[in-house]
Amino acid sequence: MTTNRTHLAFFLVVLALLSGTVAVWVHSASSRLAEIQSAGKGPGAAVATAADEGYCTGALKQILRRVLTSCGLIKGGSQRGCQPMQARSVAAMSGDDFNALFVPLSDRAAIIQFDQDSADLDGEALALLDKTFAAQRGASYFLVVSRASPEGAIGYNRELSRKRAQAVLDHIRSRFSDPDLDQEVGLLWLGAEFAQLDKDFCQWHRSRPNEACTTAHLNRSAFIAWIDCRL
């Protein structure tokens, strides 16, 4: 009887020790898991979440992918750098719908304005361009959408809007030492045929905020914005 009691006592002691050891392991594992989850809520995770902002709708992603592919900025692009393109086929939507895609970007975008028949960047345009490009904040793509006002022939306005987009790119190249520039900046020139801006865009950040703003003034411009969407 004494032997049985001794064995039982020994068994209970061993069982208690094993239970305690398992409890310590479980607690330690739980602590490590909590630390990992807490670390996942730190700056790294915030950047990952911010990489697909609320403005990144399916339609905007589709446009962005088409533009960036045409520019050779993402895998599958046939060229390195931007090439002329037909805006209607790239957008595959009405001009009003195209413009509406960018409304959620109003706080981050800017409108660089030009004189009529000109692709020259004045001092105010350069300052706003520098400020907008410098505020990358982890974004992946910088989109430049240039336009012309309705005066003049179709071909002339297409070429004028191309020169305006190119002027923006040329300045960025000269001003910023960015080795990834060719894989970040996408150009889309619209001429005066597609997606003309209406007066609602006069309230956006413009390089000439103190001048009169008509639709003609507004469309002598290049819309610029950093866009951070997961494609």
**What is the per-residue pLDDT across 113-170, written as a single tens digit (0 to 9) for each?**
999 999 999 999 999 999 999 999 888 899 999 999 999 899 999 999 999 999 999 9
Q: What's the CA gap between 68 and 143, in Å, rounded? A: 9
pLDDT for the residue numbered 37: 36
| Location of structure tokens 């630390």 | 35
pLDDT for the residue numbered 74: 65
| Amino acid identity, position 11 | F
What is the DSSP pairing of strand 221-227 with strand 110-113? antiparallel
Q: Indicate the pTM of the whole model.
A: 0.73
Interacting residues of 118 by C-beta distance below 8 A, sequence separation 6+: 220
